Amino acid sequence: MMRSDPRALQLNEHGQLKHFLTLDGLNKTILTEILDRADSFLSMGEQSVKKVPLLRGKTVVNLFFENSTRTRTTFELAAKRLSADVINLNIETSATSKGESLLDTLQNLEAMQSDMFVVRHSDSGAAHFIAEHCTPNVAIINAGDGRHAHPTQAMLDMLTIRRNKGQFEGLKVAIVGDILHSRVARSQIHALTTLGVEDVRLVGPKTLVPSYFADLGATICHDMSAGLDDVDVVVMLRLQKERMSGALLPSESEFYRLYGLTEEALSWAKPDAIVMHPGPINRGVEISSEVADSDRSVILDQVTNGIAVRMAVLSMSMSGQVQEQQGGLGVEA
């Protein structure tokens, strides 16, 4: 259980990021700063030397208690492009698998003068728990915790939307599929509403889109045609079968028939609507290959944008940590 407000925990006294745990409660100014900084990093991918010295001398530990390829790899690339030293901790072969507690593991990593932990965990609130118990000079970045949040994924999605649509005001965005189990969807809703999107629709069967999600400021739609009608952005979500219990779906084929994104279903959206997916994609279950590989798909752009967004978050959090430690003297990390 979370014992303190993560929104207060992740900001220093000057209102700057020192941890990045959730988008819930962060204001439009901070989210826009992340997007602007990420934009400035995007051109680095085209340069022969893809590095800047913002985190030179710092050590970033990727602490992944869940399997991940895309997120862990892009965090590693982001840290290395900022000139940090990177440690990828294999939890399956680490001391935690031999009975060592999470706090013992963290204390050993702190003793190695680590500066930042990028944490993915199956338990909601894990990143917040670590931020509460770590030494104050270690920045904690949430790379996904249970069903709770995946803030960097949501921000790379926001960057993708902004680069394609120019602005957020006036957009209509549909998030389709397994909302119930999706930490990505929760973070996307917070990001979209904070950045000015007034029409956010959650589309899927009643078993996967409970009515209480309307409390987050979204509209619930159980009919695909109504959910996609005239939208500017379609975000498809993976069916998280590993988190499901009970008969939430009759079958994958039935789900695809009713909620899969086919060319016919996409025709209900605006002609210039873009298609997104946080990955990994289940073709023929959530989305057809024709749509996933079409000109309207920006799925690979999301991956590219993910490196830039994670560079922005890592650099901003480290800068916020340094300013707090040095009494706000304006020293950059």
70 is in an annotated binding site: yes
7 assigned binding-site residue: no
Is 148 known as a binding-site position? Answer: no
Label residue 323 exposed, middle or buried (CB < 10 Å: 0-12, 13-18, 19+): buried
Does 98 count as an annotated binding residue?
A: yes
Query: Would the pLDDT of 116 be above 50?
Result: yes
Greater model confidence, 251 or 13: 13
How far CA 124 is from CA of 20, 50, 244, 284, in Å, comes to 15, 34, 16, 30
Residue 172 known to bind ligand: no
pLDDT of 329 strictly over 70: no
Look over the chain and give the mean of its residue pLDDT values, rounded to a whole number.
Answer: 88
Question: In terms of pLDDT, which residue wins out, 159 or 124?
Answer: 159
Query: Residue 69: what pLDDT?
Result: 83
Q: Report, as an integer, the average pLDDT of 68-94.
A: 87
Region 100-114: mean pLDDT is 79
pLDDT at 49: 79
pLDDT of residue 332: 43
Residue 245 in this model has a pLDDT that exceeds 60 = no
Q: Is the pLDDT of residue 86 over 60?
A: yes
Q: Where in the chain is the domain with CATH 3.40.50.1370?
A: 6-149+303-325, 151-298
pLDDT at 242 over 70: no
What is the structure's pLDDT at 7?
Answer: 63
Tell me the pLDDT tens digit for each residue of 138-184.
999 999 998 899 999 999 999 999 999 999 999 999 999 999 989 99
pLDDT in tens, 283-310: 999 999 999 999 999 999 999 999 999 9
10 Å CB burial of residue 192 (0-12, 13-18, 19+) is: buried
Are residues 314 and 141 in contact, defined by beta-carbon separation less than 8 angstroms? yes
Q: Is the pLDDT of residue 324 over 80?
A: no
pLDDT at residue 311, as a whole number: 97
**Mean of pLDDT values over 214-242:** 92
CA 240 to CA 55: how far, in whole Å? 35
Report residue 280's pLDDT band, with 50, 70 and 90 as the boundaries: confident
53 marked among binding-site residues: no
The answer as to CATH 3.30.310.50 being correct for domain 151-298 is no
Tell me what percent of the residues of the chain surpass a pLDDT of 90.
65
Say whether 37 counts as a known binding-site residue. no
The answer to whether the annotation marks 190 as part of a ligand binding site is: no
Residue 120 marked ligand-binding: yes
Is 3 labelled as part of a ligand binding site? no
Which CATH code is given to the segment(s) 6-149+303-325?
A: 3.40.50.1370
Residue 100: band (very low, low, confident or very high) from pLDDT cuts 50, 70, 90:
low
Assign 252 a pLDDT band (cuts: 50, 70, 90).
confident
Residues whose CB is less than 8 angstroms from the CB of residue 280 and which lie 6 or more positions away in sequence, other chains included: 70, 238
Please say if the pLDDT value at position 9 is more than 70. Answer: yes
**pLDDT tens, 21-80?**
999 989 999 999 999 999 999 988 778 778 999 999 999 999 998 888 889 999 999 999
pLDDT category at 218 given cuts 50, 70, 90 is very high
Higher pLDDT, 166 or 113: 166
Residue 243 pLDDT level (bands cut at 50, 70, 90): very low
Residue 219 has pLDDT above 90, yes or no: yes
